């Protein structure tokens, strides 16, 4: 073995010192660099894994929320359509009531006006009869050339009106 050490010019003491130095540097690097770095990488890996899991959970919750939203919107649309339909029905009913009320009011107005016309007609007929009676009296006075008293006048008027 000495020959190999001499052939390659290897110094055992130097080799041992380098091995010890290497072991010390390796230990220092391992404890102060590799081990914390490994710990940080594991923590980072856990955070990433946890983030991915949370993302999946959030995605599932979003899908659930989206389905609930669509369901709620569908129900809201149905309710809105029912409300609109009910409003149309109420409006149609109100329209019919207003038309009926207007027809009744028009009927009342027509009846009132007919009654006014009847009263006016009766009044005019009464006035015409009075004027005719006055004309008849005047005509008779001229014919008879004398004034007739009230009693005779009324009897004569009644006779003339009956004709």
Element spanning 55, H or E: helix 35-144
Percent pLDDT > 70 in the chain is 91
Hey, where are the domains in the chain?
A: 2-162
In order of 26, 98, 109, 155, the CA distances from 106 in angstroms are: 113, 12, 5, 46
> pLDDT digits over 20-60, tens only?
999 999 999 999 999 999 999 999 999 999 999 999 999 99
Q: Report the predicted TM-score, pTM, of the whole model to 2 decimal places.
A: 0.42
Mean pLDDT of 103-123: 94
Inter-helix orientation angle 150-162/35-144, to 10°: 110
pLDDT at 145 over 60: no
As a whole number, the mean pLDDT across the chain is 88
**CA gap 45, 55 in Å, rounded:** 15
CA–chain centroid gap for 130, Å, is 71
Phi–psi pair at 32, nearest 5 degrees: -100, -15
pLDDT confidence of residue 115: 94
pLDDT at 117 over 80: yes
- The more confident residue out of 70 and 133 is 70
**CA gap 54, 61 in Å, rounded:** 10
């Amino acid at each position: 073995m000495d020959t190999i050490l001499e052939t390659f010019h290897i110094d055992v003491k130097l080799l041992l010192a380098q091995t010890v130095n290497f072991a010390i540097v390796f230990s220092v690097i391992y404890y102060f660099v590799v081990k914390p770095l490994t710990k940080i990488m594991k923590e980072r890996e856990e955070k990433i894994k946890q983030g991915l899991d949370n993302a999946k959970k959030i995605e599932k919750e979003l899908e659930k929320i989206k389905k609930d939203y669509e369901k709620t919107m569908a129900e809201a649309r149905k309710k809105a359509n029912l409300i609109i339909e009910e409003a149309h029905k109420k409006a149609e009913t109100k329209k019919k009531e207003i038309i009926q009320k207007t027809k009744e009011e028009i009927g009342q107005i027509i009846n009132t006006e007919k009654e006014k016309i009847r009263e006016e007609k009766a009044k005019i007929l009464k006035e015409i009869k009075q004027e005719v009676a006055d004309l008849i009296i005047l005509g008779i006075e001229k014919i008879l050339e004398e004034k007739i008293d009230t009693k005779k006048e009324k009897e004569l008027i009644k006779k003339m009106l009956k004709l």
